[in-house]
Chain A
């Protein structure tokens, strides 16, 4: 029995089972011998004494094993606590891993865009910052690239020059004068075709490209040409002034 108890390969449960079985058989043997004690005398006494010694020995082993069981229960409790802690840490690690992956994605896209920006900067021509800011201010002031904050549907402002702006300019002035001239000629002599007047005007231009330019603007639909041309000429002077004011100031810059 000692070998069984000291055998480390057997589990505690198995050892307890074996001990209890042996104790059970010994008890039965003792009881049967006591029951049959009347038939034989000395043999049975020795055997009974041996059996009782054996029973006591196994009872001691049993108590030892129960001590061992208590120790092992304590160890199992500790193990369970550790397993729970491991689970918690595992969950935390998974959360951190997802955060890390998100951060990696965000950073990789940010790094890529930063690299693109840097390559743009390297490729770009450098200008003094004052020039850039002045140009940006010019673009922003006429809302050519970014809409005004209070723009709604039905607002006539546009990111390109509108009809009104075009009529105010040099092209509009030229076309107004042409149409005035045509009206005067048609009033003077109603038989002359307006097309021939335009055709006669063509060869006097030094470059044929300007023919297309001067007749490209639509003739105005209103009749108050004299009143309008005064306004347009005054506004044209303003646009001339604003168009060339930047050149006057820019010529002072060291570009």
Chain B
């Protein structure tokens, strides 16, 4: 039964793409990466080839389906042997997870600061209001532009 399901998925291009998309996004989860490492999936050359194959999600046509762009950053890291070996270590994965959460919250604080500055200066004068609205908008568009063109560099700056 499951074999039939797998066969139907493989034969249907849409289902295959959905499967690839799901898997590549799960790579953003460091606990899952630890799980994969501990079960020696990273020692399988076919799996490593699959990870290399999944790099096609960085192209323009496919990147717009990725909801968790940090996954592409991890995908790049997973191409390196040393990173795959380090992932067996659970403390390392917890460290990655902590850094992810801290960066996640730091961006939220920065966003709130930008919004507060924009609203604070809006009360002073209309001209400065227009300028700061432009300033508050352009970082967002810049971030999304970077996300589409080079999401990994955005994640680099996020996780640093």
Binding site for B on A (CB under 8 A): 117, 120-121, 123-125, 127, 129, 131-133, 135-136, 138-139, 142, 144-149, 151, 158-162, 166, 169-171, 173-174, 177-178, 181, 201, 204-214, 216, 218, 240, 243-244, 246-247, 250, 255
Contact = CB atoms under 8 A, between A and B. Distances in A.
Contacts of B69: 139, 144-145
Contact of B2 (A125, A151, A201): A201
Contacts of A240: 18
A210 B101 contact: no
A144 B154 CA distance: 13
B64 A131 contact: yes
Q: Is chain A's binding surface mostly helix, strand, loop or mixed?
A: helix
B64 A246 contact: yes
Contact of A171 (B22, B49, B60, B70): B22
Contacts of A201: 2-3
A147 B105 contact: yes
Contacts, number: 161
Contacts of A160: 25-26, 28-30, 68, 70-71, 100
A148 B104 CA distance: 9
B144 A135 contact: yes
Interface in B1-41: 1-3, 5-7, 9-10, 14-15, 18-19, 21-23, 25-26, 28-30, 32, 35-36, 41
B82 interface: no
B107 interface: yes
Interface in B101-139: 101, 104-105, 107-108, 111-112
Contacts of A144: 28, 67-70
A209 B50 contact: yes
B85 interface: no
Given A133-B141, A148-B108, A214-B2, 18 more contacts: A120-B146, A121-B145, A124-B150, A132-B141, A135-B148, A145-B107, A147-B105, A160-B100, A161-B25, A174-B2, A201-B2, A207-B10, A212-B44, A216-B36, A218-B35, A240-B18, A243-B65, A246-B65
